[in-house]
Structure 1
Amino acid sequence: MTLRRQSREEGHTRKFMVVIDETTECERAVYYASRRAQRTGGKLIMLYVINPSEFGHWIGVETIMRSEAEHEARSVLGEYSERLRETVGIEPEAVIREGARAEQVRALIEEDKDIAILVLAAGSGQDGPGPLVSEIAGRSSADFPVPITIVPGTLSDEDIVALA
């Protein structure tokens, strides 16, 4: 169910959302979304989703693996945040969730009514746009709660600055 966004109401700010992962194109999505947020007076929210299927071990091992995954997520989000403060001059919001990526993306958008646009980047290789782009922009896009911007993974920083 799509609920009304509040990003244009008094006391609210439009947020651009990106999903942080290990893909090479992720950086393109982050850079584009941060430049759009900067240019339009919006904010950036970065979501890092931890895959719980990696923790299917004994309780002690599962606890250690979950802790390591959370540490890695905080580290990656911290690196992006620092880089964005230095290069773009914005302070992004960082969120860590556990679960299936597409489900967590939708859940966060439904919870945060200020999220107005999801920014993804398409892979530039022969494997297609990537699994997240395929899943979200594919069959589930018809009832997705916000517009989806797909950034070509081959765009340079200069291209992104010109387009954002």
Structure 2
Amino acid sequence: MRKFLVLLDDSRECLNAMRFAAMRAANTGGAVIVMAVIAAEEIQHGLGVADVMRAEARERIEAHFEVFAKWMRDRPKVEPELVIREGDPADELLAQVGEDPLIGVVVLGIAAEKGAKNPIINRLLREAGVLGCPVTLVPGDISKERLEAIT
């Protein structure tokens, strides 16, 4: 079974990436892995503070994931898997792809604003030759109808 790996973050374009991954998985008999990364700078170290911050970040991620997961279960009938990692988002995405040979496509949302910067996409493009799977970039301003038509 081919898996679509999509990165969960707080961006607007994440919504369309989730939709695309779920619809493609449903239409091809695949699965969806939703990966979230807790960046190292989000966790302060010392005297148990790091554990509390880590737990709060996980709770926030799980709540955010459940919104997408409910839609995936109801609409395209896909049961997503949540993976939470800690570190640099690009490093962790590359590591996840390297660890799971069933990941067939990485799906990322891209901002509609001209000149918007995305360090994860920049890194993946630099290392695309070693990634081992295609990367699909989904525009943040594409309509639901258009997404449905192309998936």
Shorter-normalised TM range: over 0.9
RMSD: 1.3
Identity of aligned residues (%): 34
> Partners of 1:145 and 1:38 in 2: how far apart?
22
Match of 1:145 among 125, 132, 139: 132
Gapped regions of structure 2 (runs ≥ 5): none
Q: Which residue of 1 aligns with 2:44?
A: 56
> Partners of 1:69 and 1:150 in 2: how far apart?
26
CA offset digits 1:109-162 (Å, max 9, x no partner) = 11111100001111011342523222222x122322211111111111100000
> Partners of 2:45 and 2:98 in 1: how far apart?
32
Paired AA for residue 86 in structure 1: D
SS at match of 2:10: coil
> Partners of 1:126 and 1:132 in 2: how far apart?
17
TM-score after normalising by structure 2: 0.93
SS at match of 1:136: helix
TM-score after normalising by structure 1: 0.86
Matched, 1:70 2:58: yes
Matched, 1:124 2:109: no
Paired AA for residue 156 in structure 1: S
> Partners of 2:60 and 2:115 in 1: how far apart?
26
Which runs of structure 2 are paired with 1:9-158 in the superposition (5 Å)?
13-128=1-116, 130-137=118-125, 139-158=126-145
> Partners of 1:134 and 1:122 in 2: how far apart?
11
> Partners of 1:108 and 1:57 in 2: how far apart?
25
Stretches of 4+ aligned residues off by more than 6 angstroms: none
